[in-house]
Chains A and B, each alone.
Chain A
Amino acid sequence: MRAKLKLLETYSGEMASLYTVMIEVSGGAITTKLDQFIAKYRDTYRAEVMDIIRRLKSLGNSTGCTENFFKLDEGLDPNDLVCALYDVPEINLRLYCIRLSDRITILGDGGPKLTRTWQQDRNLEREVQAMMDVSRIIRTKIKNGNLRISADGLRLEGDLWIIRPPVQQKTDKKEDDDKEVVA
């Protein structure tokens, strides 16, 4: 299992950069949290998904990620910066994010909010928890200096890994190496 932050060039622009979390699924294939969100709801919530995509494009190219476009404090810790893109009240299709600044937001997965709180919905609870986990890892990396925000505020630089691949132990002798891999 690997996971890494991925810049979404389709939505990013001069006002903001939008990232998502790229993950490895069965068979080594790659997908992202945003891909999973879209794949799940593109048929049943077609109009809402398209509206979300248009708004994501606007965030990147027209307005930036100012806080008015989000429902803030969706995570359990206000410092985790976990929020949700504002959802249309009658529909409540919620897309969870980490709003690092007005210029950088990380998009996750989500779903329709049919209960009063996300803790009452197993799907939403899983997705909020996933974003809280990502947030914790990112904030630690930023604190340690392994991950930085670029001078223009538009990019994350440095270690973009959320879950690194298994570390391979390599020896000077190839034979020994092969034995260790087999073991």
Chain B
Amino acid sequence: MTKKLLHNDDNWGDDYSSPVINELSDAIGPQEQEQTDYKMRLAAKIYKAMKTRGMTQTQFAESMNKPISLISRWMSGTHNFTVDTLVDVQRVLGISLLDVDTAKSKAEVNFKLNVSSTIPGWTSRELNQYINDIGGMAVSEKTIEFSVEG
């Protein structure tokens, strides 16, 4: 009689989806999330610039003439910066956090480009059948950023 050790429920919980997490996540509006994302990205940018310059939080705090506890809060992504503070941070770290240059304005345009073609001798029905046979057509969207001078 041979004995085998088996773990026969390795998929335990794989399909678990938390109702409480989903419920609260769904309650967050896109505008609220955008505000949080922006604060977090701002904090990440300041932190990265500080590291790139080889500064510790203590050194950065001294340069800003602020307590280190406040600097930690700035880096945490929970802080609502004033413009005055951001201007000071820009000066100390040599980075751009506020883009107020009106000489160049960036525009973002979302568009869809439709490309069509005809194949001589094919009816539209034959073309549709061919597209279905090859698994459909890929559709992609791309955002192009450009600058307008003046």
Contacts and interface: CB of A to CB of B under 8 A. Distances in A.
Q: Do A and B bind each other?
A: yes
B18 A32 contact: yes
B36 A168 contact: no
A150 interface: no
B149 to A, nearest CB: 31
B118 interface: no
B37 A62 contact: yes
Contacts of B77: 55, 58, 63, 68-69, 86
Contacts, number: 116
Nearest to B48: A66
Interface residues of B, number: 37
A8 interface: yes
Interface string A1-30: 010101010110000000000100000001
Interface string A59-91: 101111010110000000000000000101100
Contacts of A170: 3-6
A38 B41 contact: no
Given A55-B36, A63-B44, A171 B12 contact: no
A89 B72 CA distance: 11
20 contacts: A2-B13, A4-B13, A10-B25, A30-B16, A38-B20, A42-B20, A50-B27, A50-B28, A54-B33, A57-B25, A57-B28, A58-B37, A63-B43, A68-B47, A68-B77, A86-B78, A165-B12, A169-B5, A171-B2, A173-B1
Interface of B: 1-9, 12-13, 16, 18, 20-22, 24-25, 27-28, 32-33, 36-37, 40-41, 43-44, 47-48, 69, 72-73, 75-78
